[in-house]
Chains A and B, each alone.
Chain A
């Protein structure tokens, strides 16, 4: 995407948002600043003219100058006020995107979020919005406005100088164009090489994030990794300094060129003016201050142009980000639709980049049935779960719930019919009620929250808290937030499942972090609370499933190689028997056990 179209994209979004307000402020600024700049350049000339008039009394002279001065400076203050209004607009423009950013991401297709491309676009689009007012889309607008304002001032001054004599104006203009040409060389180098610097700082940010994830601190200390990290840090520093050296060398040449041209230009214009015989002192004074102001403005103009260019670099990813389709959840009233919880999976397959993660999956789950999915890591269990809850769209085949293909379902419907607890689910630093109900505080059914907390055995714990279920967990948003133990976290996550009262409940490795007693209690709880509902559990713990009423799906290499009850599988599936006996051997049979 060309820089020009990027610029147009951002500017049109801004103009569309503020329309009249923006136009009024911009025009006001241009007008006010043109008047100011003319006034301030003419003030010394005015003084000269007044002094040279023979009959004017001193008091009169002073009065006129006072009035003129106060007038000019009053305009300046009004100018600052208008700039403030504009800054507020540009800030809002950028900052209003912040909640929009998250809104989009929450609505993206899961496959996009899981992909490397998606993550990269998120990382880089975030730079366009989150890095403060001097970087990103806010800077583009602010500097564009600076461009327009200084442009007006330049035109006014050049015009006034031109009235005096055309040549100095022409020289100033010409030399500044030359300075711009120098600048362009620098900009092009910068654009070509910015990506390189980004890659270096991106790797550096990785180290920062890694160190902030404090659990890494154990490995770093116990394995004495300081020197290793130090070497990587030093390598990064050297790369950054080298990049800076190249850039600074180039900037030096450009700077030298610009400054010399500047000084020569000043000298030349002055000499030419003086060569014009009939130029008055007043005009000369005006010309000198006008040239100084012009050079300043040209400098600002160039800087603004460069800054706009540098920030347009972010817009590519920003546009890509905004263009990705996302699902806008209406979030409106969810009509409670119930079904029986029957699942039919036919010829289900899913592939990414030509690799099939799952293929040829067929099975049927009766309403209220208990299903277990077992198999080694990488067999496709998690992928299957994501397909079952509609996060992934199958490459071929279908998942049907109560006879309807779920590909047609809206996310809201899916959420009503299925409750999915993933292995890495987290508790948010909100209130207990929000974490259990997953609703805003106004929509929480507090009676139901308390009921399910009782069911998972947290009633006494919550009763002991000062604010009950309105107590905050974690202290990011509230200093009085409480810390939960691992076991309590698991209970709250399960309470979430119970609160939802979905026909179909999927639990992915729910007990891998639980101790034996808690695990036993967990399965008892599942039996008791989800007895009528279809429940699918992904697990390595085969023991709990060795009952007749559980249908076990054995997965290997991306497909279901066998399904049936524990007893039937032991008799008919070699792989299942191997899994079972490996696990069993730890408990039964004394000390004879070698890996088979």
Chain B
């Protein structure tokens, strides 16, 4: 009983969740179910009437009866069909809105949380479970089946009830027989329901296990088999065998789990068939008894049989639907977990940005550790004037990227605080604070929509600004030659099927940073994939525009620090030194080591002097 209560509580929760997205659908489904359930019963009643008319030798009214009953049934069906059309469209719309809500939840979640493994598995579960569940259309199909079955059962019970009870008052013997039959039915059904419940529980357990296996199989499919870039390495390293080895192991487990599930489903069906046939036989015999005793006209056999057939099929549909619904709930749980609550929490920041002509970002004893990880930044205190060119250097793992992400407000310090012109940045809204920066990440993303939208990061563009940016970044040179110019969509999802090269993508990423209004530019390893000539051009350009747009760049090209006004040297999660190139070369042995590890290779070069530059 407690089980039942929790089941019902969960069911209500799921229904409320669906209600958020498809209010009108419930009423529609209700109507359709009632109409669909009632129509066949009308036909059955009509047929019974006809039979009885024939038995009592009154054939003249038959055509009239046929007309009435069958037209009524036809109208019910027509009504249901028309409403179904509205339901189908509305449920697709509601489903897509729910999907979009899920995607937008992923977009808006705090970035630090997004990067955690926990959130990633939540994301995958929400997407995969939602897809498997069939979404809102599947819910309303189940709801429709359920209500239809319920109405059928109630109406059928009404009809049968009448048939069963007829004559009960006439003789004590009959009343006893009726009561005994009903008791017999209830006992039998109860026993079978217990078996059925057991099956349902193991069904759900199996299903959860299966979903877990599905996730592993998904890893193989998405990250290995379907990730085309990896296949050349798989070939060249002979990884086919180890991959297939592990793949087959998981695959075998999933295969046997599926077999168990199929057998479980089949057993459930068998149990419901037994339940149905048991009830039918008992009722059948009871009715035959009554007919033999003269209490019922023979025609009622049709009503009995017709209703019983409808009812038993309704019962098995209802039970199967409940099982499907329980599974559906499980899957929807992941989807609803990932959505933000309906009433958003009061936004933390509401202060306005205190912009000045000279702006300063200050780290005050900032430490940072990833969720359940060790501390990676220790007690950083740094005053960063947002002017000129600043270089951030250090070996891998020294904390450069983490520092930048804290600077940008993508991460929040575990200890200490970050100040913008003296105010704690947690007081500002994220949107406001982000608007300060123009960033080109090392793993920048170019999306499959138009070049113009990729640059402006907005639906519409300021045409003049867009043009300026395209010209100065060199994009106009190749984009103007395209048929739709900057409105050309990138990627295979549009007719144009335009795939920009690596270099062109980088230009778009840089243009995006240029187009954005911001006071500070941040570049993460901007020259990693560039040849020496392009690299030099890039750093020179950064220096050139640094008057208007102060910038910070992270780089391994230690030589690039020559162009920087200020260098921040990081080591093991701490700031090891700040200064210009010459001051650091003087003061820091570590910096000297970094410098010489690259510079030495270029130092001894008599040839160059002779050949001239």
Chain A residues near B541 (CB-CB < 8 A): 595
Measured between C-beta atoms, what is the minimum distance from A285 to chain B in Å? 6
Q: Is the CB of B232 within 8 A of A80?
A: no
Q: Is the CB of B602 within 8 A of A584?
A: yes
B196-235 contacts to A, CB under 8 A, are: 215-217, 219-221, 223-226, 228-235
Q: How far is the CA of A262 from the CA of B80 in the complex (A)?
A: 15
B216-266 contacts to A, CB under 8 A, are: 216-217, 219-221, 223-226, 228-248, 250-251, 254-255, 258-259, 262-263, 266
Given A212-B124, A215-B443, A422-B232 contact (CB < 8 Å): yes
Q: Is the CB of A263 within 8 A of B77?
A: yes
Of A146-154, A317-325, A353-361, A370-378, the one with at least 4 CB within 8 A of chain B: A370-378
Q: Is the CB of B70 within 8 A of A285?
A: no
Chain A residues near B259 (CB-CB < 8 A): 88, 91
Residue A451 lies at the interface, judged by CB distance under 8 Å to chain B: no
Q: Is the CB of B117 within 8 A of A475?
A: yes
A208-238 contacts to B, CB under 8 A, are: 208, 210-234, 236-237
Q: How far is the CA of A532 from the CA of B238 in the complex (A)?
A: 24
Chain A residues near B448 (CB-CB < 8 A): 203, 206, 210
Residue in chain A with minimal CB distance to B442 = A513
Chain B residues near A543 (CB-CB < 8 A): 598, 601-602
Q: How far is the CA of A493 from the CA of B368 in the complex (A)?
A: 29
Residue in chain A with minimal CB distance to B103 = A211
Measured between C-beta atoms, what is the minimum distance from A230 to chain B in Å? 7
Q: A76-B277, A438-B238 are in contact. List 7 more A-B contacts (CB 8 A).
A: A58-B289, A65-B288, A84-B266, A206-B491, A207-B103, A415-B238, A514-B556
Q: Is the CB of A77 within 8 A of B270?
A: yes
Q: How far is the CA of A491 from the CA of B447 in the complex (A)?
A: 32
Q: Is the CB of B277 within 8 A of A69?
A: yes
Chain B residues near A247 (CB-CB < 8 A): 88
Chain B residues near A229 (CB-CB < 8 A): 103-104, 107
Of B107, B246, B397, B503, which is within 8 A of A211 by CB? B107
* Interface 0/1 of B101-112, CB less than 8 Å to A: 001101110010
Of A476, A516, A578, which is within 8 A of B597 by CB? A516
Residue B73 lies at the interface, judged by CB distance under 8 Å to chain A: yes
Given A66-B281, A113-B228, A420-B236, A378-B503 contact (CB < 8 Å): yes
Q: Is the CB of B281 within 8 A of A221?
A: no
Q: Is the CB of B540 within 8 A of A119?
A: no
Q: Is the CB of A51 within 8 A of B298?
A: yes
Residue of A52, A223, A292, A567 contacting most chain B CB atoms (<10 Å): A223
Of B88, B251, B262, B274, which is within 8 A of A88 by CB? B262
Residue B381 lies at the interface, judged by CB distance under 8 Å to chain A: no
Given A126-B226, A217-B107, A227-B459 contact (CB < 8 Å): yes
Q: Is the CB of B233 within 8 A of A425?
A: yes
Of B215, B285, B443, which is within 8 A of A65 by CB? B285
Residue in chain A with minimal CB distance to B81 = A255
Of B146-154, B164-172, B527-535, the one with at least 4 CB within 8 A of chain A: B527-535
Residue in chain A with minimal CB distance to B603 = A588
Chain B residues near A215 (CB-CB < 8 A): 441, 443, 445
Of A228, A240, A487, A584, which is within 8 A of B92 by CB? A240
Q: Is the CB of A102 within 8 A of B430?
A: no
Residue B613 lies at the interface, judged by CB distance under 8 Å to chain A: yes
Of A9-17, A92-100, A460-468, the one with at least 4 CB within 8 A of chain B: A92-100
Residue in chain B with minimal CB distance to A214 = B114
Residue of B246, B437, B601 contacting most chain A CB atoms (<10 Å): B601
Measured between C-beta atoms, what is the minimum distance from A584 to chain B in Å? 4
Given A221-B430, A517-B395, A582-B535, A91-B258 contact (CB < 8 Å): yes
Q: Is the CB of A477 within 8 A of B219?
A: yes
Q: How far is the CA of A570 from the CA of B280 in the complex (A)?
A: 97
B540-578 contacts to A, CB under 8 A, are: 540-541, 556-560, 562-563
Count the A-B residue pairs with Cβ separation under 8 angstroms: how many? 473
8 residue pairs bridging A and B, Cβ less than 8 Å apart: A206-B491, A208-B127, A215-B443, A259-B81, A274-B62, A377-B501, A419-B236, A588-B603
Measured between C-beta atoms, what is the minimum distance from A346 to chain B in Å? 23
Q: Is the CB of A376 within 8 A of B531?
A: yes
Given A99-B251, A113-B231, A230-B104, A237-B96 contact (CB < 8 Å): yes
Given A102-B247, A240-B96, A517-B594, A210-B445 contact (CB < 8 Å): yes
Q: Is the CB of B594 within 8 A of A516?
A: yes
Of B48-56, B353-361, B473-481, the one with at least 4 CB within 8 A of chain A: B48-56
Residue B526 lies at the interface, judged by CB distance under 8 Å to chain A: no
Given A83-B266, A267-B66, A106-B234 contact (CB < 8 Å): yes
Given A91-B258, A517-B594, A546-B601, A586-B434 contact (CB < 8 Å): no
Chain B residues near A580 (CB-CB < 8 A): 532, 608
Q: Is the CB of B74 within 8 A of A260?
A: yes
Of A58, A80, A376, A512, which is within 8 A of B534 by CB? A376
Chain A residues near B1 (CB-CB < 8 A): none
Q: How far is the CA of A516 from the CA of B516 in the complex (A)?
A: 32
Chain B residues near A206 (CB-CB < 8 A): 448, 491, 493
Q: Is the CB of A439 within 8 A of B242?
A: yes
Chain A residues near B93 (CB-CB < 8 A): 237, 241, 244
Q: Is the CB of B597 within 8 A of A130?
A: no
Q: How far is the CA of A593 from the CA of B309 in the complex (A)?
A: 91
Residue A177 lies at the interface, judged by CB distance under 8 Å to chain B: no
Residue B465 lies at the interface, judged by CB distance under 8 Å to chain A: no
Q: How far is the CA of A219 from the CA of B512 in the complex (A)?
A: 10
Residue B78 lies at the interface, judged by CB distance under 8 Å to chain A: yes
Of A101, A515, A587, which is within 8 A of B562 by CB? A587
Residue B347 lies at the interface, judged by CB distance under 8 Å to chain A: no
Q: Is the CB of A586 within 8 A of B301?
A: no
Q: Is the CB of B598 within 8 A of A519?
A: yes
Measured between C-beta atoms, what is the minimum distance from B600 to chain A in Å? 8
Given A263-B73, A485-B397, A214-B536 contact (CB < 8 Å): no
A-B pairs with lowest CB-CB distance, top 6: A586-B559, A543-B601, A84-B266, A73-B277, A583-B532, A223-B457
B263-304 contacts to A, CB under 8 A, are: 263, 266, 269-270, 273-274, 277, 280-281, 284-285, 288-289, 291-292, 298-299, 301-302
Q: How far is the CA of A126 from the CA of B237 in the complex (A)?
A: 25
Residue A1 lies at the interface, judged by CB distance under 8 Å to chain B: no
Chain B residues near A567 (CB-CB < 8 A): 607
